Each structure stands twice: as structure tokens, then as C-alpha cells.
Chain A
Amino acid sequence: MAHAHSVKRHKGLMDWLTTVDHKKIAILYLLAGGLFFAIGGIEAILIRLQLIKPMNDFVSAQTFNELITMHGTTMIFLGVMPVIFALMNAVIPLQIGARDVAFPFLNSLGFWTFLFGGLLLNLSWIMGGAPDAGWTSYTPLSTNTYSTSHGVDFYTVGLQIAGLGTLIGGINFLATIITMRAPGMSFMRMPMFTWTSFITSAMILFAFPAITVGLVLLSFDRILGANFFEVANGGNPVLWQHIFWIFGHPEVYILILPAFGVISEVIPTFSRKRLFGYSSMVFATILIAFLGFMVWAHHMFTTGLGPVANALFSIATMLIAVPTGIKIFNWLFTMWGGQIRFTSPNLFAIGFIPTFVMGGVTGVMLASAPADFQFHDTYFVVAHFHYVIVGGLVSGLLAGLHYWWPKMFGRMLNETLGKISFWFFIIGFHLTFFVQHFLGLMGMQRRVFTYLPNQNFDTLNLVSTIGAILMGIGILVFLINAFATWAKPKGVANDPWEDGRTLEWTIASPPAEYNFKQIPLVRGIDAFWKEKMAGNKEMTPAEPLGPIHMPSPTILPFVMSVGIFIAGLGFMFSKEQFSNSFMSMIFNNWIVVIIGLVITFGSMLLRSLYDDHGWHIEVEELEEEGVKA
């Protein structure tokens, strides 16, 4: 017999600050990711405006360095990661037939630490200069000798805090997928998006601690005077490169795998066919993740590791083309003979395939160590990674957002606007980055703020900038679409695309707080499609109707993240010379750090001391809502 606990229900802002509901956290991730994506996008447009013509002085060299650093860092850590997490939060519990994630409290904590880390990093713009050592922050450029502002401190501390949030999210999804699957949903019946998110979470778990250590070492060098990267005192700058890329290379697969998952959901739905080669898809994903950890030194071919190391890493890198190729062919064979509908999500998914293949081909070219000596640090590399990250990942995310938007918000996005935004985006994208391959081959160096005229760079750079603006228009149309949709009433059907195959389409859009009134019984891959083929309108429940236990909302994750934020700021400025004696007293004596840590650990203590009994939704309430629906 379940016992009811009274629970305080919050409204308005407090509801969003205290929520532990994965569907609301998904929206928070989307908003935060959208904000940072906009900042990173503006930075990209500014970079392209500076490069629109030779010898331009639109921004200074210093500002340009800050722009490229913050563009890369913001987009990777704060722009696309949270949008991935938004989709994972919105979709995974629904796809596996669960009422929530394994750790709702940690889910909230992960979001808030990520957000405050991102805010701290972006505060640098108004607090004495943004980081300017490139998104890779190579030593010794990023050590005190060559980087005297606090820019790199914002980078090390901000990314550590944001990375903590990502790590928490990764652990949460691993546990959720392992333990919370509905009866009958074996691992080999999981939807592909859940599979790729599972593998991505595992990669997050094993990659992020490495960058955390790297950032700790760099901040110790900069703030505590340690010597990890100080050659004069025995340090080794190449160590930073190894640590950074041991994280950094898995990171690019962390980013792309969820996009693979989205494509593997969208294409079967709009081809009205089961995904071709499901098990080969699963094993290709695992293989990519495994190889992803084995290839970090291909970013360091020109560092001088020697021919043996270069050859091994070269071959390992080329191997990744095999599982990736398997995926590409599986998508093509899924579409082959299908009844393809060119809806806006499917357009983005179909646009993804050739674009990503092009990024893959240049990837194999770059994997060849001798050729890489030519390509290294040119726009060829810039073109390559934008093909996989923008043409690949961002296309995938836009496909996923258009596809799951009705499930997240209960409203369909406008199809016409969706298609307009797709065509602007894809044409703008190829205009921007296709020409950069040739700029790179002709010798244009990346990270340099301007170039001389009459080197055949002028026209191609102009084309590239025009493309960037078109791409920006595409994103703006998407935003207009989102806001215009907001004005419309909610109330799309459970299965608005009509050909939904997986469990999220069996419940209301947006789903009730508890997702599933009764946990469904899964009888095969594409559980909902299987029931449809058997002539059933809905899933067979796996349990009788009963009271549903829910976790209580809590403000503690928010407070804990504020504490970490304060401690981070305090650590950064602990060696600063302040003119104000009060400021130097609280910062130079570590008082700010201690206050921040007390807030964080105090909240942890409260969480441990006071058990969260949660609360129950009673059967009568569930039946009432059933009548209303």
C-alpha cells in the first residue's frame, strides 16, 4: 500500500528552477543551448565578416583571436552538447518506456552546473577579455608567459564546471538505459537513438575526466605556479596536447553519434521501412566509439612523434571509415524501395548523408600523415571539421528538433518554414565551407586574422562569407518558426507523423508528468510499429493501473551550481592584485572559494540528511486525466 506524501508544487520561475522532470530539463537544455548557439553563431558571422576581403580591419587581431577561441569553445561545449542533451532528455525515457531517468536530482544538477560553467566562460567578454589561445588552448601559448589576461582562466575554470555537468548527465543516461527499460525491451530491441546516446554517454564517462585533469593542470600552472607545462622548470608542453586530444578526439564522436541516432530514427519513419541492418548499426556504433579512443595522436602528426607513431595512428584513423561506411549504406538501403516522404525532418536527414560523406572523405585524406603535413593548420582542416560538425551534427540536430518538436511542445513546426530553413541552411553551408577546402589547399592558414590580396583568396573568401550569412538566415527562419508555433494552441495527436515506430509516439504530446500511465510491454524492435502491424491501436500494458511514485522538486541542484560558480570565480582571482582592500581580503585569502564550497557541500549534506520520499499520483487522478483526454 503506497502512502501519499504532501508535496509543494511550484509555479512559474520556481517551477523551472526546481524541476526534476526530464521533459522540462530537456526544454531548459534546449533554451540554454539555443542561447549559447546564438552567441557562437554571432561570433562565426563576425569572423566571416572580418575575412570577407583582404587586409580588412573590421576587428583587431586580438579580437579575432578571442572570437575564434570563443566560437569553437562555445559551439562545442555549450552550443551543441546541450542540444544533444535536450534531445536525449526529451526522448530516451519515452523511447525505453520509463517514467523518468534513473537520477532525476542529478539530471537537474547536471543541467545547472553546465549552465553556470557556460555563463562563467562567457562572462570573460565583460570581465577583461575572452580566452584567446584557440579552442585547443595549446601550451605554452596558454601559459602565463604568453597569455597574461584572465581569458584562459575563464576557459579552464568555466570548462571544468560545464564538463562536470556533462559528466553527471552521461552517468545518468548510462544508468537510465541499463536499469529503466520497459519489460521486453532488451538491448537489441532498443531504438537506435537510445543506442547511440548510450554509447555517447559511455564515451563521455571515459573522456571527460581526462580534460578535467588537463584543465586542472593548466589552471594550477597559471594560478598556483605549478610547472606541468613550463619547459624551463622541467615541464612538457606536448603533455597538454596528449591530454587534450585524448579527450578531444572521443569528444567529436560523442557529438556525432547522437546525430547518427537521430538520422536512424527519422529515415525509417519517413521511408515507412524498418532500419536496414539494425544489428550492424549497433556494432558499427560500438566500433566507432572504441576506435575513437585510439586515434587521438592524428591531431599531432606534425608535433614530431616519429614515423612509427604516425603510421599506427594513421591506420587506426582510416579504420574508422569502415563502420561509418556501414552506417551510410544502411541509411541508403533503408530508403531504397521505401515510401519516402520529404517532410522537413527528413530533408535535414537526407541532406545529412552526402554532406557527412564529404566530411568523411576529407577525414580519410587528413588521416594520411604525409598529406597531413600539407593540410595541417590550413582552411582544409577547418572545412573538414565543419563538414562533420555543422553539415553532419547540426543537420542531425535540426532533423531531430523538427521530428520531436511536436512531442516536446505539443505543436507541429510549420512545414513550409521548415523547408525554407532547410534550403537556406544547406545551400549556405556548402557555399561557406566547400570553398574553404580549396582555400586550404592553396595555403590559407587558419587562425590568422587577415590575408594579403592577389593570392587567389579574395573571391573564395567572399563566397564563404555570403554562404555564412545564408546559413544564418536559415537558422533565423528556424527561430521564427519556433516562435510562430508558440502562438498556436497545443494539441497535436499522439503520433503526429502518423508513421511513428517507437514508444514515444504511443503517449500524449507533450506527455503527462508521469509519461506512461501503465508501463508498456515491448514485443519487438520498433515496438509501436509492431503493435500497429498487429492491428492494435495502443501498447499492451505490462502492469495494472496503480499509484505512481514521483520525485519531489528541489532547489538544491541550482544552489549547488551557484556555489561551484562562486568557488570558480574565487579560484580564478585568488592571485589578483586588487586596488580595493576588501576585494583583496576576500579573494586573496580564499574566502570566496571557501564560501562557494560551503554552499555546494552544504547543499550536498542537506540532500544526504533529508530523505526525499517523493509523492504519489493516485489512481483516481490518473483516471480523471484519462477521462479528460
Chain B
Amino acid sequence: MSATHTEGALPHEPEKATLEGRNKVLGFWLFLGGEAVLFGTLFATFLALRNQTNEGPTASELFQLPMTAITTLILLVSSLTSVFAVQAMHRHKVGALRGWLAITVLLGLAFLCLEIYEFAEYVHAEKFGMTTSAFSSAFYTLVGFHGAHVAFGVVWISILIGQLFKKGLTVVTAPKIYVSAIYWHFIDVVWVFIFTVVYLLGKVG
């Protein structure tokens, strides 16, 4: 079974040092397969209903591409910083690892703030709520599901930073960090699709 490693004797890829760690990484990839179907179904729903505006605001009236471009940039950069975090983990630099994770969390928070601002703007200024039209329901559900995933990731990675302070980098904490990084990339990829299918297509399609 799992050999116990003491700190300093960590292998290059501590997330794959134990069977539990390898299982966790594999299980998480499988979970993301399910998540892909979940978002796929939400995208299909959105595509089916995106022109059903029920005399409410349409996509091209609502969306502001400059702001969405900024949120996209923020999230893409946060994906890069989480890569730096995993690279720091592979070099066993716990300080750098914590730092990059913290930057990732901050970028995630910035994204969330902009998204909440955007939603509030739509609801109050544009009178575009969940019940306005089939388009609005599909929009809030798809983008909201993604936002909830980002929020979960922000809390999760923050907790992991705390665990790094308390427990350090071990063969138990490493798989958690690795898996959270995969998760973060996944929600980033989903956002790329949202940016394309919801915002770009809404503006020009």
C-alpha cells in the first residue's frame, strides 16, 4: 500500500506518489467527463433557446464585449497562474506554490465580482431577469452554473492554501492541489466556450 514519505523525500510528482493520489487524479478526470456532459446539455439548451427573447432584451442589445473580454482575460490568466502553482509544486517550492494559488484565487474573485456586477446591471438597468424570456432563463442558468463553479473553486483553493500552511506539501495534499488545478482549467475551458457561444455569437451571430 501507500508508502509514507517524509518531507524532503518527496518525489518529483508528489500527486502521483501513492495509489490514493493516482486514484484521485483519475477519478477527477472521470468526474470532469460528467461535467462536460452537464455543460454540454446546458449549451445545447442555450443554443436552442437563444433567440426566444419574448420581446425582452436581445443578446446584441445586452452584451458589452469590452467588459466580457476583460473577464475572459482575467480567467485565462488565472489558468496560467495555476499552471505556475503546479510547476512550483513539482519543484517542491511551497512558498511559490502558495503564492501562485493565492493569485489564482484573487483573479477568480475578480472574475466573480465582474460577473455579479454584470448580472446586477442586466437585472436592474435592462429589466432582464430569470423569468423574462426563455433566452434569459437559458442565459442565467448556463452562465450562472459556470459562476457557481468558479465560486466553488475559489473557496476550495483557499482552503487548500490553508492546508498548505498547516500540513505542508505532502503526498496527501499534493493530489488535492493537482486536482483543483485541473478543475480550474476545466472551468476556464468552459468559459472559453461561453465567451464564444453566448457573447460573440450573441453579438454577431
Contact = CB atoms under 8 A, between A and B. Distances in A.
A556 to B, nearest CB: 16
Contacts of B6: none
B34 A175 contact: no
A206 B32 CA distance: 10
B176 A608 contact: yes
A230 interface: yes
Q: Which among A106, A205, A209, A548 has the greatest number of chain B C-beta atoms within 10 A?
A: A209
Contact of B23 (A103, A221, A225, A611): A103
A605 B159 contact: yes
Interface of A: 2-3, 102-103, 106, 167, 171-172, 174-175, 178-179, 205-210, 212-214, 216-217, 220-221, 224-228, 230, 233-236, 239, 242-243, 246, 548-549, 605, 608-609, 611
Contact of A205 (B34, B137, B167): B34
B33 A205 contact: yes
B27 A239 contact: no
Contacts of B23: 102-103, 175, 179
Give the 7 A-B CB pairs with smallest separation, nearest first: A234-B52, A234-B134, A226-B137, A209-B38, A549-B1, A213-B41, A209-B37
A103 B23 CA distance: 8
A609 B166 CA distance: 10
B27 to A, nearest CB: 4
B49 A234 contact: yes
Interface string B134-152: 1111101100000000000
B30 interface: yes
B141 A217 contact: yes
A179 B49 contact: no
Interface of B: 1-2, 4, 19, 22-23, 26-27, 30-31, 33-35, 37-38, 41-42, 44-45, 48-49, 52-54, 130-138, 140-141, 159, 163, 167, 172, 176
Q: Which among B48, B132, B137 has the greatest number of chain A C-beta atoms within 10 A?
A: B137
Given A209-B35, A608-B163, A171 B137 contact: no
A212 B141 contact: no
Nearest to A207: B37
Contacts of A221: 137
A228 B137 contact: yes
Given A102-B27, A210-B37, A239-B48, A226 B141 contact: yes
B134 A228 contact: yes
A239 B45 contact: yes
Q: Which among A171, A221, A246 has the greatest number of chain B C-beta atoms within 10 A?
A: A171
Contact of A243 (B45, B138, B176): B45
Contacts of B45: 213, 217, 228, 239, 243
Given A175-B27, A227-B137, 9 more contacts: A213-B41, A227-B131, A233-B134, A234-B53, A234-B134, A236-B49, A239-B45, A549-B2, A608-B176
B124 to A, nearest CB: 18
A213 B46 CA distance: 12
B130 A235 contact: no
Contacts of A207: 37
A216 B172 CA distance: 35
Contacts of B26: 102, 175, 178-179
Contact of B34 (A106, A209, A230, A234): A209
